[in-house]
Chains A and B, each alone.
Chain A
Amino acid sequence: MKSNLRPAIVASAILLVLCGLAYPLAGTGISQLLFPHQANGSLNRYGSTLIGQSWPVGESGPQWFQGRPDGSVLTTGPGGVIVSGTEQLGPRSKQLVEAVAKRAATLKREGIVPANDLVTYSGSLVDPDINPAAAYDQVNAIARARGLPPAALRRLVTSHIEEPQFGFLGAAYVNVLDLNVALLHVRRSAGPPSSN
């Protein structure tokens, strides 16, 4: 016991400095040098392309593409902290049935066809993306609310589809923030400008 105490304490101290300070701080340094945009959270002036946010629905219907629920949880004032991944309902949970039915009814009232991605919670609760089908399902409602031609919006969605990485990793998706920012540039008559 006693002969082990010195190496145990010294080894703990050395490993603490090596793995707990040198390793993450060197990692932070190299990350900030090579990938400052990503390392700081892929931020732009509207938010982060990696973190979902809520897109309020106005009186005249949805002006923006909606992401994964629950949007109202995602945006709070400064000081409000969002804890990710807190909705955990079982596959035969009555609560889940009620929540899905309620969200579907709300979407229908807003003129949006409910899609799987729009009624189910994501794993993180801050999923920034939706399945392309869930975006197409919103086109008519947004076109009506904004007075835009649905065909132009459909083209906009198509130009924003991210295919699976290398063709097979993950699923195809549309980033809701990118899509909504691009929405600003869709003119009433013409189609969208070439995709950015």
Chain B
Amino acid sequence: MDLALTLVLLLLVLAVAWRFLGSYLAAVYDGRVSWLGWFERPVYRLLGVDPEREQSWQRYTGSLAVFSGVAILITYAIFRFQGSLPFNPQHLGAVPPALSWNTAVSFVTNTNWQNYAGESTMSYLSQMVGLTVQQFVSASVGIAVAIALVRGFARKGSPTIGNFWVDLIRGVIYVLIPVAFIAGIVFVGQGTVQTLAGPAVIHNPLTGLSQVILRGPVGFMETIKQLGTNGGGFFNANGAHPFEDPTALTLFLSIVLLLAIPVALTYTFGKMVGNIRQGVAVLAAMIVLFGAWTALTVYAESQPNPAVSAAHAVAQHQGNMEGKEARFGPQQTALYNAASTETSTGSVAGANDSFNPLGGLGLLAGMMMGEVSPGGVGSGLYTILLFALLAVFIGGLMIGRTPEYLGKKIQAPEVKLASFAVLVMPITVLVLTALAVSLHAGRAGPSNAGPHAFSEILYAFTSQGNNNGSAFAGLNGNTAFYNVTGSIAMLIGRFAIIVPVLALAGVLAAKHTVPEGLGTFKTDTPLFTGILISVIVIVGGLTFFPAVSLGPIIEQLSRHRLF
């Protein structure tokens, strides 16, 4: 009952975000919003960029690549030098090179995979200037790429797809900072800490024991972590930590924040291509997939934990409480973790590793289907549009007609680019997982045994290849092997998809539209949504089913067996 009310409220709030945040986003990227013009104009002057001059897809990609490269280097340097920099009350030393590299790549690619424990590794400066900055920037880059692709569909015979620098800055100042700031105040009001004062040491006279309470500038990082579908928390326990998510209200608001932009972008898409129903068709596919994986996970976590049952010690009326917080309970923890995994956020309100086998499968499935339900900020929309191109292509094959999408003929170059971008992720994930289980260095990672150990490795690469960042955290990823292979997965998962997407944007923008005919397959109908879902499920299912069988499925079927 409580869960039902939570879901109803969530749907209502998201419907409002879809309509109003969606149209606001369209206005921001069309340049119709200018209340921060006084700040924007001097910024472009300093950059030496003319905001009125748009870029071809090649130049847009070049700017994005150079900017991301610089971001990785700066972030890396901050971690390496944090020992000599201010805002370091715990006197933490430099982060080791391999870990710094992995973490810099992780935050620049919007993954937020964390091979470290925040509270004992990162100074306040690294958390703010290293991590929080990239949580804004990588999110803005993701949205920019999605908008560029949408412009490709919306424009006719255009040599350009927008200006990267303008899209980058506008996303940060008009959308991300205002929303994250207001939400930050609410979070701190609920109990999230936000201080630079360093750890507190308290001697409890009742027990005679002393306690070190670690604090930091957490609250305002927390909100951009969710809003930008980043997921990298201040503390190792992430959203399960009471200083990140102190109450069920912050748990709920976190779910709202991480779903808001990916959902709203489908409205933005519809608005920019001149037909809201096109956005609704895509959103419907997202909702169906989201509902399926979330329901599986929530159901699984309402069940008892098999290991706790095997100890024959307690009744488990609440469900699986292992790795979960008392104030949240299993169901709403499962909802949070599922929503976060489905948006490539990867934040957790409880330990994913301790989820029941089917619960873990629900989390994995959302990632393996390409992170499109609804996916990360920007990346969710551009990835599902790739699947939409494949869907019209397959539809076209069935009736023997050149496919069209949004008035553009979809021909060989478009289908090649889309297929390449869709296949990059599964190939990366499966090859690296196979490598890890074949090598001693890879098998040394998991802390659990049996099929769960395989799941931990598979989950790690699936998460990094999808720029998700959530973890079956039993895996010790802070080794040379996992730091390096993980960074490869994250870089490929991000940029080997962004580049073909921007190329696609350029190719499409240059095309003229063809008038809709009698034989045109309509893409704003439930039939199209159905085909789109089928394509996503078939691509993801065929590529990953064998791997999943060796992990969560075996684990679920092994009744009465322990590992």
Write the residues of chain A forming the contact surface with B, with a CB cutoff of 8 angstroms. 1, 4-12, 14-16, 18-21, 23-24, 26-28, 30-32, 34-35, 38-43, 45-48, 50-51, 53-56, 64, 68, 74-98, 100-101, 103-104, 114-131, 133-134, 162, 164-171, 173, 180-181, 184
A50 adjacent to B194 (CB under 8 Å):
no
Q: With A and B bound together, what is the CA distance between A77 and B202 in angstroms?
A: 10
Question: How far is the CB of B451 from the nearest CB of chain A, in Å?
Answer: 8
Query: Which chain A residue has the least Cβ–Cβ distance from B125?
Result: A20
| Set B49, B202, B357: member contacting A46, Cβ < 8 A | B202
Task: Given A20-B128, A91-B320, A94-B563, answer yes or no on A35-B251 (Cβ-Cβ < 8 Å).
Answer: no
Question: How far is the CB of B563 from the nearest CB of chain A, in Å?
Answer: 5
Query: Which chain A residue has the least Cβ–Cβ distance from B310?
Result: A97
Q: A100-B311, A115-B314 are in contact. List 14 more A-B contacts (CB 8 A).
A: A32-B194, A34-B188, A38-B189, A50-B246, A53-B209, A81-B214, A83-B117, A90-B474, A122-B325, A123-B325, A168-B2, A169-B2, A169-B248, A170-B332
Task: Given A171-B327, A173-B327, answer yes or no on A43-B202 (Cβ-Cβ < 8 Å).
Answer: yes
Question: How far is the CB of B327 from the nearest CB of chain A, in Å?
Answer: 5
B185 adjacent to A91 (CB under 8 Å):
no
Query: Which chain A residue has the least Cβ–Cβ distance from B130?
Result: A20
Which residues on B sit within 8 Å (CB–CB) of A4? Answer: 62-63, 66-67
Q: Is B12 an interface residue (CB 8 A)?
A: no
Which residues on A sit within 8 Å (CB–CB) of B219? Answer: 27, 31, 39
| Set B117, B128, B235, B321: member contacting A116, Cβ < 8 A | B321
Q: With A and B bound together, what is the CA distance between A165 and B117 in angstroms?
A: 30
Task: Given A1-B62, A11-B47, answer yes or no on A97-B307 (Cβ-Cβ < 8 Å).
Answer: yes
Q: Is B120 an interface residue (CB 8 A)?
A: yes
Residue in B190, B311, B555 whose Cβ sees the most chain A Cβ within 10 Å = B311
Which residues on B sit within 8 Å (CB–CB) of A20? Answer: 128-130, 132-133
| Set B90, B207, B237: member contacting A85, Cβ < 8 A | B237
| Set B193, B447, B555: member contacting A88, Cβ < 8 A | B447
Task: Given A15-B137, A89-B474, answer yes or no on A54-B324 (Cβ-Cβ < 8 Å).
Answer: no
25 CB contacts below 8 A, A to B, read A7-B67, A10-B47, A12-B67, A24-B220, A31-B194, A34-B189, A45-B205, A50-B246, A53-B204, A74-B211, A75-B209, A83-B120, A84-B236, A85-B473, A92-B306, A92-B562, A94-B307, A116-B316, A120-B305, A120-B321, A122-B240, A127-B325, A168-B5, A169-B2, A170-B248
Write the residues of chain B forming the contact surface with A, with a CB cutoff of 8 angstroms. 1-2, 5-6, 43, 46-49, 62-63, 66-67, 69-71, 74, 90, 117, 119-120, 128-130, 132-133, 135-137, 165, 168-169, 172-173, 177, 180-181, 184-185, 188-197, 200-202, 204-207, 209-215, 217, 219-221, 224, 235-238, 240-243, 246-249, 251-252, 305-308, 310-318, 320-329, 332-333, 348-351, 353-357, 360, 447-450, 452, 455, 472-474, 555, 558, 561-563
B119 adjacent to A97 (CB under 8 Å):
no
A10 adjacent to B46 (CB under 8 Å):
yes
Give the number of residue pairs across the A-B interface with Cβ within 8 Å: 396
Q: With A and B bound together, what is the CA distance between A27 and B187 in angstroms?
A: 11
Question: How far is the CB of B350 from the nearest CB of chain A, in Å?
Answer: 4
Q: With A and B bound together, what is the CA distance between A114 and B119 in angstroms?
A: 32
Query: Which chain B residue has the least Cβ–Cβ distance from A130?
Result: B326
B452 adjacent to A32 (CB under 8 Å):
no
Question: How far is the CB of B302 from the nearest CB of chain A, in Å?
Answer: 12
Question: How far is the CB of A82 from the nearest CB of chain B, in Å?
Answer: 7
| Set B212, B215, B217: member contacting A78, Cβ < 8 A | B212
B235 adjacent to A90 (CB under 8 Å):
no
Which residues on B sit within 8 Å (CB–CB) of A129? Answer: 325-327
B206 adjacent to A40 (CB under 8 Å):
no
A50 adjacent to B242 (CB under 8 Å):
yes
A165 adjacent to B247 (CB under 8 Å):
yes
A84 adjacent to B321 (CB under 8 Å):
no
Q: With A and B bound together, what is the CA distance between A122 and B48 in angstroms?
A: 52
Residue in A38, A85, A101 whose Cβ sees the most chain B Cβ within 10 Å = A85
Which residues on B sit within 8 Å (CB–CB) of A121? Answer: 322-323, 351, 354
Q: With A and B bound together, what is the CA distance between A180 and B205 in angstroms?
A: 12
Q: With A and B bound together, what is the CA distance between A81 and B118 in angstroms?
A: 12
Question: How far is the CB of A39 from the nearest CB of chain B, in Å?
Answer: 5
B448 adjacent to A50 (CB under 8 Å):
no
A51 adjacent to B251 (CB under 8 Å):
no
Which residues on B sit within 8 Å (CB–CB) of A116? Answer: 308, 314-318, 321
